[in-house]
Amino acid sequence: MTSRERLSALPQIPTVAESGLPGYHAALWMAVFAPARTSESVIRLVDSRIAAIMNAPQMRESLNEQGFESRPQGPESVSKLVREDTARWRKVILDAGIRAD
């Protein structure tokens, strides 16, 4: 389990951090993005509709059965996550000398 927390569908499986690599975390996440300069009102409307869908019991159950957990976060949190992951993975790529050739 590479996420920060154990998956609720598989609570008996420890995270990598719990298994001996403290601080380790590499999580898959998905988000919906809008074009630059999309109005704040449109972003808020789309966000509220997506959150309602993702929080619906049937959706949460379906995702859980597939090993996913729904955690709608809103535009500010997603922007922060993008910045953090971009910085973290850029450092990993540069430090490891990874090249795409």
Distances (CA, A) of 15 to 9, 24, 66, 67, 80: 13, 9, 18, 14, 23
DSSP letter string, 25-85: -----------TT--HHHHHHHHHHHHHHHHSHHHHHHHHHTT-------HHHHHHHHHHH
Q: What is the reported pLDDT for 100?
A: 87
Q: What is the reported pLDDT for 72?
A: 83
Query: pTM, whole model, 2 decimals?
Result: 0.72
- Which of helix, strand or coil describes residue 95? helix
Enumerate the domain spans of the chain.
1-29, 40-96
pLDDT higher than 90, residue 80 = yes
Count of other CB atoms within 10 angstroms of residue 60: 15
Count of other CB atoms within 10 angstroms of residue 7: 15
Q: What is the reported pLDDT for 85?
A: 92
**For range 3-21, the mean pLDDT:** 90
